[in-house]
Structure formats: structure tokens, C-alpha cells
A = this chain, B = another copy of it.
Amino acid sequence: MTGTTENQQAARRSDATRATILDAARERFLADGYEKATIRAIARDAKIDPSMVMRYYGNKAGLFAAAVAIDPGLPGLSLEPREEIGRTLVRHFLTLWEENGELTALMRVGVTDPAAADRMQSVLREQMIPLARRLGHEPEQAQARAALCVSTVLGLALTRYVLRFPASVALGREEIVDWLGPTVQRYLTAPTP
């Protein structure tokens, strides 16, 4: 872990430190949000000097950007049977949120910071709207339907993972799929009401 010099990207000796910082940053941003998660606290967690954070990530914004770099990766959903796409989508988002705590951090910040909000929106723009379009809707319809789907899953994420309402946390995984799946399905495939 400390001697190899010929990697694809010139493995630096400081990679371990970099990773430690990033882990601590993710944890802090997730727990406290952007403003309250101070560089000093993150550095303390990582047991390094605050100035190292600056050296490696430029500034606080850069650190945050590095900490929440994530790929939503909606898989080739057009392959799914059309009647199952709602449930599949909901299931996919559930695992996504449960595996990546960064998403909670991103939401905490996005609510105040336009740049982070835009990052969240990109999922809608680049993945959900094209998906709705692939399902045969004209542009406006695709926009509206995709917005409704995103609002559905983000609403659940908000009450369950961010605000942690007990009633929402108590819901079982498959219970959620059973309720929200048909909803998303309807938003995507039902005729306009």
C-alpha cells in the first residue's frame, strides 16, 4: 500500500490521507449539513491538520463536491417489462439511498445551496425525463411525468432518511414498493387524467 509507483494515475503516498479525509467529510456533511460541518471538525475526525484539507481539496466547496460525487446509474430500464417499471424504479431508488449516505448529505445541502440543488436536478434532467420519453410521451408530458416520479421518491427519502419520521422509517422495504410502485407506474404509463 506504500511502495507502488507505477499505477494508472501515479499513486501518491498521500492517498491514504486523502481517503481518510473524504470519509470523515462524508460523515460530517451527512450528519451536520454544509455550514455546521466545519473543516476543523472534519480534520479532527480524520486526525490530520485542517491545512491538509485545503491542500488536497482547495477549499470547502471542493471538499464537498468530492465527498458527494455519485452516480445514480439508472440501469437499462427500457429492458424491463413495461408493467413492472414502477416497482423496479422504486426498488432501485431504495437501494441507492440505503447504500449511499452521501445522498442524504446532498439533500441536506441542496435545500440551501443552489449548486447542490442543481446537482440533484441533473438526475431528473438526464435520467428520468429521457426515461419518460422512451416510454412514448411527448416532451411536455415527459417533463411533467418525470417530475412527479422524482417528487414521489424524493418525498419518501425526505421523510424516511433525512427527517426520519418514525412512521416513515417504520415502513418495510417491500411495503414501500407495494404502495409507491403503482404510483410511479401510473405517473409513467397511465393516460393523462
Contacts and interface: CB of A to CB of B under 8 A. Distances in A.
Nearest to A183: B183
A187 B179 CA distance: 8
B124 A151 contact: no
Interface stretch (A5-13, A14-22, A72-80, A163-171): A163-171
Nearest to A108: B111
A159 B121 CA distance: 9
Given A151-B156, A183-B183, A193-B182, A144 B167 contact: yes
A35 interface: yes
A50 interface: no
Interface string A122-159: 00100001000000000000011011101111111011
Contact of A117 (B111, B124, B163, B178): B163
A50 to B, nearest CB: 19
B155 A167 contact: no
Interface residues of A, number: 47
A151 B129 contact: no
A110 interface: yes
Interface string A34-78: 011000000000000000000000000000000000000000000
A32 interface: yes
A96 interface: no
A120 interface: yes
A187 B155 CA distance: 14
A141 B150 CA distance: 25
